[in-house]
Structure 1
Amino acid sequence: MTHPTTGDTVTIDYVLKRGDGEEVGTTAQVGPQEITLGSGNTFPQIEEALMGMDVGDEQTVAIPCDKAFGPRREEAVQQIPRSDLPPGPDPQPGMALQAQRQDGSPMMLHITEVTEDTVTVDGNHPLAGEDLTFDITLRAIKPAA
């Protein structure tokens, strides 16, 4: 068998768990995923594991929070006056808002609390501060052209 290398596109199934073992994502929900190795579209630890696998192999990859989405930053949680929100549906906990950083790049904010006057938003990634474990199965390898 041949292992995938940089530039190859692989098809994988995975189960994503938090450090406490709680499942938070799986390809059973969305179908197998394709990754082009070396594209930077996944964690380097996953790419490294995949390059040592054959089709049908399974592997567990642990990624500590500082190598995943980083530590949770309390300064990324802010209260915004409701009057500063764009027009649209009433804000609800769990909704996402897109905002702009000072440099103009987009960022996602998640609403965590709504009061009559303010909305609390969290700019942390939902998995920030979490150690992650991916149970990966390599399904196919498509060599680079």
Structure 2
Amino acid sequence: MAETIKAGDTISVNYTGRFENGEVFDSSEGREPLKFTVGAGQLIKGFDDAVVGLTTGDKTTITVEPKDGYGEHREDLIIDIPKANVPEELEVEVGKRFHLKDQSGRPVPAVVVEITEEAVRLDANHAMAGKTLIFDIEVVETGLQSEAPAAESHCGDGSNGCQGCGQH
């Protein structure tokens, strides 16, 4: 009998992630299965939790609410920067991405969402914040050796980072 997956196990899965409207945002199709250690924080919580108790060959479809995905969309992460504070040489246009720094000095990605006469409005929410995500998951292998360090990107982040599945 196949062992059931538990936290700490390293496994590989095939998956397809889509939004509620059916639009696919990420998939392992055409690539190697996603390998990760369950419960190590490499993936969003809802995906990570969903594989616990499954075994090799199991298939499941899960719905991940924002709280177990990339969080709710937060208005406090929409920031207006006075145009006078934006360096002239910086090419600012709607849709352009920048990295800000938080109070700890860590980079925080933000996208320009609006430009007015007085200010540049940035949104530092994750691109999938506030979205319900649906994943079709198939467990390919269990009992694998883990790889260190942990992946730097997360499943469903739109960076095709699910190969090492990580946050963007």
- TM-score where L is the length of structure 1: 0.79
Residue by residue over 1:5-51, the C-alpha shift from the partner in whole angstroms, topping out at 9 and shown as x without a partner, is: 32221111211122333322222376422111121112333233322
Residue by residue over 1:39-77, the C-alpha shift from the partner in whole angstroms, topping out at 9 and shown as x without a partner, is: 111233323332222222211111111222222122322
Change (3 A) 1:103 1:53: same
- State the alpha-carbon separation in 2 of the partners of residues 115 and 30 from structure 1: 43
Q: Give 1:79 shift.
A: 2.6
RMSD: 2.7
Structure 2 counterpart of 1:138: 139
- TM-score where L is the length of structure 2: 0.70
Aligned residues: 145
Residue by residue over 1:99-141, the C-alpha shift from the partner in whole angstroms, topping out at 9 and shown as x without a partner, is: 1122333211112234576432101111111111111111122
- State the alpha-carbon separation in 2 of the partners of residues 16 and 44 from structure 1: 14
Please, which runs of 5 or more residues in structure 2 have no aligned partner? 147-168
Contact 2:44/2:70 (CA < 8 Å) preserved in 1?
A: no
Contact 1:4/1:143 (CA < 8 Å) preserved in 2?
A: no
Structure 2 counterpart of 1:23: 24
Q: Which has the higher strand share?
A: 1
Q: Secondary structure at the match of 1:66?
A: helix
- State the alpha-carbon separation in 2 of the partners of residues 139 and 59 from structure 1: 12
Please, which runs of 5 or more residues in structure 1 have no aligned partner? none
